Amino acid sequence: MNEISGRWRRILAVGATTVGARGISLLANLLVLPIVGRCLEKEEFGLWLNLTSTFAMLAVLDFGVGLAVMGQVSDARGSDDAVSTRRVVTTALVLLTGAAVLVLVLCGLFAFTLDWNDLLGVDQVSAAVVDQLVLAVGVTAALSLPLTVAGRVYYALGRGHVTALSTSAGVLAQTGGLLAVAALAPDLRLFTSVYLATSLLSGLVPTLLLARRVRDARPRRRHVDRDTCGRLGREGAQLFLLTLMGIVSFRSDSLVIGHYLGADQVAAYVLPFTVYATVPTVVGAFLTPLWASYREAWARGDQAWVRGAYLRSVGVSTAAGVVAASVLVPVTPWLLRLWVGDDAAVLPPAMLAALGGYVVIMCATTAIAAFLNGAGELRRQLAVGAVMTVANVAASVWSVQRFGLSGPLWSTVVTQTLIVLVPCMLVAHRRLARPRALVPDVLRTAG
């Protein structure tokens, strides 16, 4: 009983600090985005939004290794196996350093060979500047890859507050830097440089702290292990594909809008979407430590706790989505005017309804996905995710030309509900009906 209550205390504590960090990030965006928007031309601002969104998307270039680290360190923690923790951390750092080198090579190859102005729908910014900014985004993403390990390890150890505090410090530094640029020398390249440099800082701090203060997770060359590399590679590849499909499905709409409607229309979509996407992001802040706790509980044989945690998380997450959507939909026009002024786009009712539906569907899906990830049900998620990605992108391209800004959102809501949410819910309930099968596939492989 003490272990169960302690597990929930850790989940709530880590979730609360993570929500606090994301709240700081949201407030920073609310402050910074309209200021940057006033300092740049409309097309420059749309390009900046696309570049910063793409940088966030490039976090998946760790090929799922970071998420696999969180799961496998949680396994080791549940088994009280410090040696396995060291092997996982050290091997992951070696793998991601290699991935960083590969990404750097690809950046050098593609940054100046593709027509980025055409791909990003930019006409008024010189090709040389766009190429330089694309290269900077790629290089920073590559350098960030090995830095993802420490944050995931802290979540697995039930100390995700360290990662959250580091993220908050990076966001505050980023906000100060962007405001300084806006006041002293407003320029697209300077805004991008400050954003990328401070984002790198957020990952560097927990990496240094992990190496100095967590002895069981301190990397050593002798702990590089071939079998651990195989397990991280197998689980990471599946998680990478899931994450990649999610990004293509949910984060590519701004690129589609920029290409078909023009970069000057991107802000009209991204700004309200940013507000609504905060809700499933906050819900996910509690589900990340819950995912790690599922794995730890399975390692200890505590299946009853897993079942209760799943049912509770889905119910609370869905209810939070419904309440948030009910509040946001009627106040969004006023909120956007307050945020960006009278220049805020007037959203049609169809887009507001789509935004509300997106919030509810994603809150429920995120809770179910956290359970399925902990249960090792990755292959079934890959199957439905692949179908959903293709269907959603195709529907977004078709609908944006027919219905405008609201088309891609409705495509996401419909495809996510029918192709992902309903099937995954059925898979989760079948897993719960077979308690003896609640052992992650990766653990059986490892054994």
* Sequence letter at residue 160: G
Measured CA to CA in angstroms, residue 38 lies from 31, 85, 257 at distances of 12, 48, 21
Angle at the Cα of 50 from the Cα atoms of 60 and 135, rounded to 5 degrees: 70
**Distance from C-alpha of 140 to C-alpha of 381, rounded to nearest angstrom:** 30
Whether the CA torsion 159, 161, 165, 168 is positive or negative: it is positive
CA–CA dist 44, 352 (Å, integer): 26
Find where tokens 């090995």 sit.
146
Q: Report residue 131 as tokens.
A: 């190429």
Q: What is the pLDDT of residue 341?
A: 66
pLDDT at 443: 45
Nearest to 13 by CA among 290, 364, 208: 290
Structure tokens given for 125 = 């910014």
Cα 383 to Cα 399: distance, rounded to the nearest angstrom? 24
Provide the 3-class DSSP secondary structure of residue 343: helix
Q: Both tokens of residue 246?
A: 């999610």
Integer angstrom CA distances of residue 252 from 9, 169, 351: 37, 28, 17
* Cα dist from 162 to 13, 165, 361, whole Å: 11, 5, 30
Overall pTM surpassing 0.75 (yes/no): no
Query: Among residues 243, 170, 252, 254, which one has the least CA distance to residue 206?
Result: 170
Instruction: Report the C-alpha gap between 225 and 446 in whole angstroms.
Output: 13
Q: How far apart are CA 287 and CA 74, in angstroms?
A: 14
Q: How many other CB atoms are there within 10 angstroms of residue 403's CB atom? A: 17
User: Torsion angle of alpha carbons 114, 116, 118, 124, nearest 10°?
Assistant: -140
Nearest by Cα to 378 from 67, 56, 58, 99: 67
Token pair, residue 117, equals 């102005």
The single residue listed with the structure tokens 């309903």 is 422
Q: How far is CA 422 from the centre of its chain?
A: 22
Low-confidence ranges of the chain (pLDDT < 70): 1-6, 59-61, 264, 339-345, 434-447
Question: Within a 10 A sphere around the Cβ of 56, how many other Cβ atoms?
Answer: 12
| Single-letter code of the amino acid located at 322 | V
pLDDT at 434: 66
Contact 152, 217 (CB under 8 A): no
Q: So what's the pLDDT on residue 321?
A: 93
Task: Answer for the pair 329, 351: CB distance below 8 angstroms, yes or no.
Answer: no
CB atoms within 10 A of CB 187: 14
As given in the structure block, the two tokens for residue 61 are 């270039």
Q: How far apart, in whole angstroms, are the C-alpha atoms of residue 125 and residue 101?
A: 30
Distance CA 43, CA 386 (A): 33
Q: Which of 423, 438, 296 is nearest to 369 (CA)?
A: 423
The CA-CA-CA angle for residues 61, 62, 68, to 5°, reads 140
Distance separating alpha carbons of residues 64 and 242, to the nearest angstrom: 9
User: CA angle 291-167-43, nearest 5°?
Assistant: 110
Q: What is the predicted pLDDT for the residue at 340?
A: 64
What is the C-alpha separation between 19 and 363, in angstroms, rounded? 15
